[in-house]
Amino acid sequence: MKRHDETPAPSSLEDKKPRLDMVENEDQQAFANVGDQVNSVTQTGAEDAQGHPVQEVESMCMRCHKNGTTRMLLTKIPYFREIIVMSFACPHCEFRNSEIQAAAQIAEKGSRYIFKIESKEDFSRQVVKSETATCMFTELELEIPPERGQLTNIEGLLNEMIENLQLDQEARKEAQPEVYEKIEAFLKKVKACLEGENLPLTFYVDDPAGNSWVEYLPGQPAHKWSMYEYNRTAEQNVYLGLISADDVAQHKLAESKQKKEATDSNVSASLNNETDSHPKVSGFTDHSEIENFENEVQTFHATCSACSAPCETHMKTVNIPHFKDVIIMSTVCDRCGYKSNEVKTGGAIPDKGRKISLKITDPEDLARDILKSETCGMKIPELSLDLTPGTLGGRFTTIEGLLTQVYEELHSRVFTQTSDSMDDETKQRWTSFFAKLQDAKEGKIGFTIFMEDPLASSYIQNVYAPDNDPNMTIEDYERTHEQNEELGLNDMKV
């Protein structure tokens, strides 16, 4: 398991740390605009601002299949890296094309740039968009997919998008008038933004190769420009050609086999066998009379809380690997059929609370053991599920079992009892919630579990133990005075 003070394992989470430090006392030459450097080339064969020659290569035109000329210029973007600016011109059909390519190797991590467009002048901010980058404008609900590399600005990206959509508008007007109207309304909205209306906009550039860039201006407000790095997924590495799809398939197969072996040998899977194979001991028995006391199921008489009839409560101590000992208690009434179970953790009260998060990415993850104590709160944002401390009591089960208990409790005790008086909108929300919860139980959708326990008495099985689980994070934190007060720790004298 991974604590917050250890070196984190590679994951898909974003590392919010700038890749390059932005210093304002750098040589002023570093702030020279790329356009000014290119304009310094006055003739073919001259040198650019950094002494690199403009090279010419004869190449075939893809439109008329005759020979044209490709010019290449090596230049450097301040605070970014070296790039190659290429321009092709065909003297026969007048076809022209320009693009850029990164002159450096693929970065170790992907990068994401976020830029706030707050005025008309911000549209002139320079952008390097590589052939693997995706650009997004959140408020416009616009996404520009990966295509050829470009050295342009934000206004240039939008103008090119407008031109591409307008090319077939006349044909759409006749064949699909409703689509034509929607595109016209969208183009009108984009043009209004270019004139400085409907601002601010949020502009994203996401490049798994890490070879894209949005211009940074020293001294600008911190909220306008930000850059994040993240670890690429296996699919992104395949897309970039760094690894093959076969390597990914073999790695997933090995990982799945490892998970299956770990979950098959977990505590909950072996409890039934242990219960049948070990004798029960009634009453309070002297430890010395039992050869292996920890493996015995203790049984003592109790009273059913539902019908007040005599019943039996079974208790067993279980050691959870890499965690601590817990006490599992189960009560069954033969008269009315009442059943209940509860889990208590042993040991001293820890000095700190604990937060655990687990990303469920595989159906086999649902077989992991999970211990949710009475003081633990649990959230699953993707399912809109929030269990406050005390809900369901203490539970030691699997993730699938916990979701099943939540489903049965809410459906039988809440939805079934009150659905007749619900309005259609409320009933529809409940139905949608149960559908998502059912999909989660069956492993059809991924989700993330967040658990927070001020007594650090909750646990999720790490199938990679003793190594760190790349999909799990564990963080210890200091309890507040209010939390200690609620738990009765402030008045406890030891």
- CA dist 139 and 200 (Å) reads 9
Please write the tens of the pLDDT for every residue from 419-441. Answer: 666 778 888 888 888 889 988 98
Q: If you average pLDDT over each of 65-74, 125-134, 310-319, 391-400, which comes out highest? A: 125-134
- CA dist 451 and 403 (Å) reads 14
- CA dist 88 and 194 (Å) reads 29
143 beta partners: 136
Evaluate whether 389 touches 451 at the Cβ level (below 8 Å): no
Query: What tokens appear for 243 in the block?
Result: 């690894």
Which of the two residues, 443 and 487, has the higher pLDDT score?
443
* Omega cis (within 30) before 10: no
Strand order in the sheet with 339-345: 280-282, 297-303, 310-319, 325-332, 339-345
Tell me what percent of the residues of the chain surpass a pLDDT of 70: 77
What is the CB neighbour count within 10 angstroms for residue 338? 15
> Tokens 């008309």 appear where?
120
pLDDT for position 362? 85
pLDDT for position 7? 38
pLDDT for position 44? 41
pLDDT for position 8? 42
Please write the tens of the pLDDT for every residue from 219-264. Answer: 788 888 988 888 888 888 888 888 888 888 887 788 777 777 776 6
* Omega cis (within 30) before 200: yes
pLDDT for position 347? 67
Q: How confident is the model at residue 304 (pLDDT cuts 50, 70, 90)?
A: confident
Of 189, 233, 228, 192, the closest CA to residue 210 belongs to: 228
What backbone torsions phi and psi does residue 72 show, to the nearest 5 degrees? Answer: -125, 135
Query: What tokens appear for 370 in the block?
Result: 């999970």
Q: How confident is the model at residue 321 (pLDDT cuts 50, 70, 90)?
A: low
47-51, 190-194, 341-345, 429-433: segment of lowest average pLDDT? 47-51
- CA dist 254 and 260 (Å) reads 10
Of 55, 470, 34, the closest CA to residue 259 belongs to: 470
Evaluate whether 183 touches 165 at the Cβ level (below 8 Å): yes
> Tokens 């304002």 appear where?
24
